[in-house]
Structures are given as structure tokens and as C-alpha cells.
Structure 1
Amino acid sequence: MNKPIIIMNFTGVYDYEPFSRNRKFTWIDCTHLQGVECYCDKEGALALKKAIENYPAEGIHFIDSGNYHYLTKFWTDKIQQPFSLIVFDHHPDMQPPLFEEMISCGSWVEDIIKTNSYLKKVVIIGASEQLINSVAPQYQTRVEFYSEQSLQQESTWKRFSAEVINTPVYISVDKDVLNPQAAITNWDQGSFTLNELEHLLSIILKHEQTIGIDICGECPATLNIFEEEKEAQLDSTANKELLKLFLSFQSHTFQ
């Protein structure tokens, strides 16, 4: 059964990405929402939860720039079975929040660990070792890290390939794990090529039942029109390739 492909449009950047011009995609207009950029306040959270209330966690969700990566929490809150969260991100997104009453793009993984009783395991792939070392010690037993640097070693690839996850998975991809030749984001980026990212994803998609997927890492508008078009084309190509990969595994995904 085909599951929805959803575009959550906050910045208008998808208007410039050719991959999104498909009538079968469902667009959710978020451009009018307040209190949702980087930090999401209570009113913003209520508005976003209402916007997605009629859509399932199953499916593929494009969620705009990394400033809105906390949306993964709202999507995974819909899952009503034990699951594991697999995150591709150059940042662990496990910083202590500056404001306890708000979820943020830098703290959402910690929020899910604290609040989601169905979550059994978190795997973070592609984060820098420096940022991993700053994660609070109490989360080390709940989170498994494959750092950007460690994945340069064949032994780590073999360990990753042999990883056993005993639950269905939800996959979240921030394109900031990619190098600037593969995508342009508004955060500092890693060194993965698109082929390397797809190889890692393919290992998961072959072996695990996938509940749902989200993708962020778009580059919001700048004042340079030429650069905007160039960035949008690059990000569109990455999104198109990732979508093609996910759909090629559709018979094993969204069961």
C-alpha cells in the first residue's frame, strides 16, 4: 500500500526545488505559523500537531530546513508500538534545552528519549566526535553512535552492517551529514557523499522494517538569487535521489 509523501513548507524553499513538483505529494502550508523556527513554543507545537493530525507516521515527510528537525518528535509521537529511531545528522541534537517549556532543533532527540515510552533504541549516524563527546553521560546507554570519523574505517562499516535492531525503525535524515558538494544546508556540514549516505541507508532498508521517514536540511532563502537557485537545484537533486531510494524499498517499508 502506498503511503503519503508529505511536504511541510515553512520557508518556501520547496517552491524552487523541482523534485517537489508532483501532484501526488501532499503539501502542508506552515509559512503562517509563529513560534516554530529553531525553538517551538506551546502554541506553535499545538498548531503543528493539528496540521499533521490526519496524517500517519508511516510515509515520507520532507520537513524543510534543519531548524524544524524537532518535527521528528511530533511524527514519532504518533507511533503506537515499540520502535527504534535512526538519525542521520552531523549534530546529535541532544543539547540541554535553553527553555524547558520549548522543544528545539538542538534538543529534540533528548526530548523523545525522555517522553516516548515506545522508543527502545536510538542510533545516531554521522555526527562529529566532538559533539558526541558533549552528550550527557546518562544517555550513553540509550544511544548508539556511529561518528562521521569512525565510518571512515572499514571495521566500523562492518559493525554497522551487522547491527541488529529488534524493533521496526523510524528514519530521520538531516542532509547536513552530506558534504557541500552534495547538498547545501544552513548548518555546518559533514563529509558524506550522497553515495555513502545511500549505501548506509540501503543497509538499514534491506534489513529493517521501516515505519516512516523524514528528511530535512533545506537551505532557506538568502539575498543572492543566483546562489539560491544553485542551492535549491543541489538540494532538489539530493532529495530526488533519496526519495527514489526509499521508494525502491517500498515493499519492505511501511508495513
Structure 2
Amino acid sequence: MYRILTGLCCAVWCAVIAVEAFGLNKRQEMALDSFEMASCFNDEFTDDVTAQIRLYGTGPALTSEEEITEYLEGAAAVCQIYSGYGIIKKKETYGCIWELEGANEDFSWSLQYLRKNNDEDTNENQTAIKNDNMCEGLISWRFAGDWSEEMQRIYEKKERLEKYSQSQSKLCLELIGSWPQLMTKEQIDECAKKMINKAGASLVSAKGQDNLQLYYGYGEKLGEVIRFQNERSNINLLYRVNGEKTICILGFPTVQWDD
């Protein structure tokens, strides 16, 4: 009986490991699929294209800079990412961002803590009101080399960060490129049509927003967003004009990464 029970326990344990491995492989397969499709858009940009993976999730509602600094440094230690350059604070229209950056020979990374503005916290001298939904944690890896070798490590960091922040997180792929000249609305629409055709996709929406808070956890002043989708992915084409050239972010949102 003991041998039978031992055998059953071993069988269950092996099955659990197999299921977990299958789940990871399935997620990685979806990620690979998105990267493969993203590569077909590279020649649409005339400047160098940077690939970026973003991991975001809701973080604790912290009120002081000391707490936020401690939180970011703790998250960096948990994720085993070092070579930090110190905490940088910057104010944006949608809130304040505390950022901890670092890099190695393969890729650069940043940990960000976003505290959103709210109607009752308009004065920077006021203490932020605690609200579990107004703070977001974000980590991103930016790289130009072979991303596939890093995927396993990124998923491991994802799991560590979830345990540290005690919240679920999502992954998203982005391609960041630009056209080195100012483009008219008609020219951008024409480029978008080419991308939509390349992806075998259909248009979902195209509208302008002054301050678009993307649902994958990052807000930025953007001129327009064009959304299209095919059987494999939803795609966001986000662009803005900064006075010298047209910046583009091609985003593959998170829905497929964590199914």
C-alpha cells in the first residue's frame, strides 16, 4: 500500500510539473507568435526599431517618496536586476512617476511607480489620498538583440514580482520606431493601411486623444491611436508628432500573453 501511495504521489507531482511546463510553453508560444508577426512591420519605419516588453500590475498605494523608493529598490532586488542609476522623479499630466533604471550588455530595464492625479490631489504639497486603484507598478525591458533567450528569465521575474506585490501582472510587447520627418494625417493613415493589410487585420477604431491612458498600464501624451486586430492579436498603432518627427509605438496588448 505504501508503494502504491508513493507511486500515486509521484505521478500527481509529475503531472503538476507537466501542466505548469505546458502553461509556460503555451504562453511563450503566444509570445513568440506575437514577436514573429511584429517583425513584419520593421521595414515600415525608417529609423531603428527598438523592441520592448512591458510588465505591469497594480501596486500598493504609497504616500511618501521614502516608501516609493523602498518599494522600487525592493522590487529590483526581488527580480534580481541591479546596476541601478538611482531614483528619478518626473511629473506628467496624468501623475507623478518614480523610475529606477539600469542596464547590462543585453538590454536596459526600468522599474516605474506611477501615482495618478486625482481631483482631490491637485497640489503637489498635499498628501496623496490612499486609493488602491491610483497606483501602478511597471517594469519594462528594452532591447535590440535576441529577445527569445530572455523570455524564460522574464517570466521568472514576472512570478517573483507578483509574489512581492501580491497582485497579478500582465506582459505586453511593443515596437518603438519613428518616421524621421513630420507626417500629415493622410500619410499616417496610408502607413496604417499598409500595416493592417500586412497583418491580415481589420480596423477596430481610429480616433484622437490628447492623453491616452493605455489599458496595458502606461499613459503618455499621444496624438492618435489606430487599433486593428486579426485572428492572432489585437494591435495598437500609437503615434504623436514632437515637432521634429513622428514617433510611433506599435503595441501588442496583453490579452494573449496570459491566457
TM range (shorter): under 0.3
Could you say which structure has the higher strand fraction? Answer: 2
User: Which one has the largest radius of gyration?
Assistant: 2
Q: TM-score, normalised by structure 1?
A: 0.26
Q: TM-score, normalised by structure 2?
A: 0.26
